Amino acid sequence: MKLADLAGLEDPQTILGPLANYMRPMLISSLKEKRKTLFSENAGKMKHLLDNLQKKLDEVSTVMIAN
């Protein structure tokens, strides 16, 4: 659709309203999926970091007990 085609419309809401109603559920779904993916990735990274920290603490405590 060209700008000249829109010039004949008196109210752009006749196109924008239905377009927004059509796209809104898709955008919301996409944002929710992205948020869920980011949360899962961050949870995995945090678990990995905590596991590494626990290993280091175990090593230190083993060395301290041995001395």
The pLDDT of residue 11 is: 82
Task: Write b or e for each residue in 28-58: b if 16 or more Cβ atoms lie within 10 A of its Cβ, otherwise e.
Answer: eeeeeeeeeeeeeeeeeeeeeeeeeeeeeee
In a domain, 3, yes or no: no
Q: How long is the chain?
A: 67
Q: What share of the chain has pLDDT > 70, as a percent? A: 87
Instruction: Report which DSSP code applies to 9.
Output: -
How many CA atoms does the CB half-sphere of 57 hold within 13 Å?
6
In a domain, 6, yes or no: no
The pLDDT of residue 2 is: 58
The pLDDT of residue 13 is: 84
Tell me the whole-structure pTM to 2 decimals.
Answer: 0.55
In a domain, 4, yes or no: no
In a domain, 1, yes or no: no
Average pLDDT, the chain: 88
- Across the range 32-53, mean pLDDT stands at 96
